[in-house]
Structure 1
Amino acid sequence: MSWLWAIIVGLVLGLIAKAILPGKQQIPLWLTVIFGILGSILGNAVAAWIGVADTKGIDWIRHLLQLAGAVAIVAVGDMLWASMKGRRRTRA
């Protein structure tokens, strides 16, 4: 996978993950892309582990696993980002 394709997929998955999660996420766009890329990698690893990485036609299960990975990473990353930003504000 080329870097450009990874960034595009990461952006799309990250934005969809942010739309699925309830409430407003505080993470910036660049971090959303990174979390989307990491979710894609996680979903691909899980798909390979359960044996559905390569199927005939469209790999719907793999894509759903990528999205689930992105949702999980965006949720955890948003909590960490909010806690880091909260600590910075109290010191200033």
Structure 2
Amino acid sequence: MGLIWTIIIGFIVGLIARALTPGKDPGGFIVTTLIGIAGSLLATFLGRSLGWYQVGQSAGFFAALVGAIILLVLFRIVRRKTY
């Protein structure tokens, strides 16, 4: 159930990260959602390795949002250099 919760939070966080990050988004709705899910998963696994979360716990909303914003900015930088 923890993984499903992480994906749901990631979906919501991806949408919020897109709204909070200024600039044109090179990806669409689906790419932004996937980045939000990846940010949530990244925050969950990083938090577990640092001892912030126990096994079975997912990242908090704020940690997932920070992870998604970081990944979204990195994605924009990479996409900008390829064009």
TM-score normalised per structure 2: 0.73
Distance 2:49 2:79 in 1: 30
Name the stretch that deviates more: 22-31 or 66-75. 22-31
**Residue 80 of structure 2 corresponds to which residue in structure 1?**
82
**Residue 62 of structure 2 corresponds to which residue in structure 1?**
64
Q: Which runs of 4+ in 1 moved over 4 A?
A: none
**Superposition pairs of residues 25-40 of structure 1, within 5 angstroms:** 25-40=25-40
**Residue 9 of structure 2 corresponds to which residue in structure 1?**
9
- Structure 1: runs of 5+ lacking an equivalent: 87-92
Higher RCO (CA-CA < 8 Å; seq separation 6+): 2
Distance 2:51 2:60 in 1: 10
Q: How many residues are paired up?
A: 78
**Residue 89 of structure 1 corresponds to which residue in structure 2?**
none
Q: Report the 3-state secondary structure (helix = DSSP H, G, I; strand = E; otherwise coil) of the residue aligned with 1:78.
A: helix
Question: Compared with structure 1, are the counterparts of its residues 68 and 80 closer, same or farther at alpha carbon in structure 2 (3 Å cutoff)?
Answer: same
| Structure 1 contact 46–65 (Cα < 8 Å) conserved | no
TM-score normalised per structure 1: 0.67
| Structure 2 contact 10–37 (Cα < 8 Å) conserved | yes
Q: Which has the larger radius of gyration?
A: 1
Q: Percent identity?
A: 26
| Structure 1 contact 40–67 (Cα < 8 Å) conserved | yes
AA partner of residue 45 (structure 1): F
After TM superposition, give the deviation of residue 17 of structure 1 in Å. Answer: 0.9
- Structure 2: runs of 5+ lacking an equivalent: none
What is the aligned-residue RMSD (CA, Å)?
2.4
